[in-house]
C-alpha cells in the first residue's frame, strides 16, 4: 500500500485504516480538472527553462491531456486506494507514459500544488457565485419596477413602522446582495495569485520561472513568499466569510417570504412549483424551498467557523490539519450557489397581493411620524411633537380609529397648531411620496435606486465576463 502514496519512500508501509483515515479523495476529487491545469502549466514552464527536455515535456503534456480527455468524457475513474486526487493524476500519468511521468513533480511540492489547485477552483466558484447573485439582483430589480404602486408596511421589531412601497423593499435586498457580490470580487483579487513553485516550504534549487507559470494559469502574479504560499488559507476563509454573509442575507429574504406567504400576512403567493403539500393536511401549501434556503445557509456559517478553528493554532508552514479545508470551503460555495439560484427562481415567480399590502399599511398608525413632522414644521420642537402624537395614537387605539380619520376638533385636542391642512399629509400614499430624500421610498427616489443598482450590476457582469474570458483563454492554450 505504501508504494501508492507519494511520500512512501521514507515512511514505509501504511495499513488500510491509516489510508482510509488520511484520504481526502471524497473532497478533493472536485479539484481533478484544476490539478491537471496546474500540472500542464508547470511542465510547460519546466520545458521553457530547459529543466526538462522538450521530448519529455511533449510526452508529459500528451499524457496529461489524455487524462483530461477522460475526465471531460466522464471516463476518469479515481482509485480509492490512493490518498488524494493529486496522487491519482500522477499515478495515472506514470501508468500511461511510463517513468517519465515521475519528472512532472520536479521543482514543486504537493504543498504548493494543493494551494494552487484550490485557488484555481475558487476563482471559478467565485465568478459563478457572483453571476448567480447578479441574476438574483436583476430579478429583484424587475420585481421592483413592477411593484412601485404597491404600498406596504415597513417594519421595525416586526411592528408597523412607516409605509413603504414593495419596490423600495425589493431594492433594499438588491443593495445588500450587490455588496455581497462586491465582497466576492474583492476576495477574488486575493485568491488570484499563484503559489505554484514555492515548493514544500523554502522554494526550489531549480531555475524555475514562477511568473511564467502564473501567467500560463491566468493569475495576476506569483505570491511573494514561499512559506506564506503553503501555510495559509486566508483566501479560503475570506471566501467562506463572503459566502456566510450572503447566506445571512438569503436567509433573511427566505424568512420574509415564509412570513409574507402566511394567511395572517397574505402579502405574496409563492408559485406551486416552489411549494409542497402535506402528507396529512390537504389544504396546505408549504414554502419548502424558502425553508430549505433558510436551513441550509446555516451550515455555511458552520463552514466558516470550521476553517477559522482549523487554522487558528497552526505554526508555519504546512500542517496536515489543512487537508480539512476543502470539505468546508467546497461545501460553502456549492451551498450558496444552489441557494442563490433557487432564490432567483422563487422571486421570479412570486405574486404580490397589492390590495392586502395596502390595507395592512393603512393600519397601525404608520402616518404618526408624518403628523409629528407636521407639528415640527409649525414650530413645535420634535420631542414635544413626539409626545403630542403619542397621545393622539393612544386616543385612536381607545376609539378604534386611524389618525387620518379623526375630525379636526379631535386633532386640536392634542395641539392647537393642527389645522385643516393636516389632512393633506396623512394619507399613506402621500406619506410615501413625501419621502423623496436620497434613499427614500418615493417613486422618484426608488427609480434612482433602481438606476444605480443596474449600473453596479452591469459593472459586475463586465468584470465576471472579463475574468472568465481571461481564464478560458489561458486554459485553451494549456489544453491545446
Taking each helix axis from N to C terminus, what angle separates 32-48 and 110-145, rounded to the nearest 10 degrees?
130
**Which candidate in 9, 157, 279, 409 is catalytic?**
157
Integer Cα distance of 242 and 250 in angstroms: 12
In sequence order, which residues have a C-beta less than 8 Å from that of residue 316 and are 6 or more positions away?
Answer: 227, 231
365 is catalytic: no
247 is catalytic: no
Largest interatomic CA distance in the chain: 100
Integer Cα distance of 441 and 445 in angstroms: 6
- Burial status of residue 40 (CB atoms within 10 A of its CB: 0-12, 13-18, 19 or more): buried
**Which candidate in 8, 278, 377, 391 is catalytic?**
278
With CA atoms as reference, report the closest residue to 219 among 346, 120, 146, 79.
120
Q: Which residue has the cell 395572517?
A: 264
In sequence order, which residues have a C-beta less than 8 Å from that of residue 157 and are 6 or more positions away?
Answer: none
Q: Which residue has the cell 481564464?
A: 471
The catalytic site residues sit at 157, 278
Amino acid at each position: 500500500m505504501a508504494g501508492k502514496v507519494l511520500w512512501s519512500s521514507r515512511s514505509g508501509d501504511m495499513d488500510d485504516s491509516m489510508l482510509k483515515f488520511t484520504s481526502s479523495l471524497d473532497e478533493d476529487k472536485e479539484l481533478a480538472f484544476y490539478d491537471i491545469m496546474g500540472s500542464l502549466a508547470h511542465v510547460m514552464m519546466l520545458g521553457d527553462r530547459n529543466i526538462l527536455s522538450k521530448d519529455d515535456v511533449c510526452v508529459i503534456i500528451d499524457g496529461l491531456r489524455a487524462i483530461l480527455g477522460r475526465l471531460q468524457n466522464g471516463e476518469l475513474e479515481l482509485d480509492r486506494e490512493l490518498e488524494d486526487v493529486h496522487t491519482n493524476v500522477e499515478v495515472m500519468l506514470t501508468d500511461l507514459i511510463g517513468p517519465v511521468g515521475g519528472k512532472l513533480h520536479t521543482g514543486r511540492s504537493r504543498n504548493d500544488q494543493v494551494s494552487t489547485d484550490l485557488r484555481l477552483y475558487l476563482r471559478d466558484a467565485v465568478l459563478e457565485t457572483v453571476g448567480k447573485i447578479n441574476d438574483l439582483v436583476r430579478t429583484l430589480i424587475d420585481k421592483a419596477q413592477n411593484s412601485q404602486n404597491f404600498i406596504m408596511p415597513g417594519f421595525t421589531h416586526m411592528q408597523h413602522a412607516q409605509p413603504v412601497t414593495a419596490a423600495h423593499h425589493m431594492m433594499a435586498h438588491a443593495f445588500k446582495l450587490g455588496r455581497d457580490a462586491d465582497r466576492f470580487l474583492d476576495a477574488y483579487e486575493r485568491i488570484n495569485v499563484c503559489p505554484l513553485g514555492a515548493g514544500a516550504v523554502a522554494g526550489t534549487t531549480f531555475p524555475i520561472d514562477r511568473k511564467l507559470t502564473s501567467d500560463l494559469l491566468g493569475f495576476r502574479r506569483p505570491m511573494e513568499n514561499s512559506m506564506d504560499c503553503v501555510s495559509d488559507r486566508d483566501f479560503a476563509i475570506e471566501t467562506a466569510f463572503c459566502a456566510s454573509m450572503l447566506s445571512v442575507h438569503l436567509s433573511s429574504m427566505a424568512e420574509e417570504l415564509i412570513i409574507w406567504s402566511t394567511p395572517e400576512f397574505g402579502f405574496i403567493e409563492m408559485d406551486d412549483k416552489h411549494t409542497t403539500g402535506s402528507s396529512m393536511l390537504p389544504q396546505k401549501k408549504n414554502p419548502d424551498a424558502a425553508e430549505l434556503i433558510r436551513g441550509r445557509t446555516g451550515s455555511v456559517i458552520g463552514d466558516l467557523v470550521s476553517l477559522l478553528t482549523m487554522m487558528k493554532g497552526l505554526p508555519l508552514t504546512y500542517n496536515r490539519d489543512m487537508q480539512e479545508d476543502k470539505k468546508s470551503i467546497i461545501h460553502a460555495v456549492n451551498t450558496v450557489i444552489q441557494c442563490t439560484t433557487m432564490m432567483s427562481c422563487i422571486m421570479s415567480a412570486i405574486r404580490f397581493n397589492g390590495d392586502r399590502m395596502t390595507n395592512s399599511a393603512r393600519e397601525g398608525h404608520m402616518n404618526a411620524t408624518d403628523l409629528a413632522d407636521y407639528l415640527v414644521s409649525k414650530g413645535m420642537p420634535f420631542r414635544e411633537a413626539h409626545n403630542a402624537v403619542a397621545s393622539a395614537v393612544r386616543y385612536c387605539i381607545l376609539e378604534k380609529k386611524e389618525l387620518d380619520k379623526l375630525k379636526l376638533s379631535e386633532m386640536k385636542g392634542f395641539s392647537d397648531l393642527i389645522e385643516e391642512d393636516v389632512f393633506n399629509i396623512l394619507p399613506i400614499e402621500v406619506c410615501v411620496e413625501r419621502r423623496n430624500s436620497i434613499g427614500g421610498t418615493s417613486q422618484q427616489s426608488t427609480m434612482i435606486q433602481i438606476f444605480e443598482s443596474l449600473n453596479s450590476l452591469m459593472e459586475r457582469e463586465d468584470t465576471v465576463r472579463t475574468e472568465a474570458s481571461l481564464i478560458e483563454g489561458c486554459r485553451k492554450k494549456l489544453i491545446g
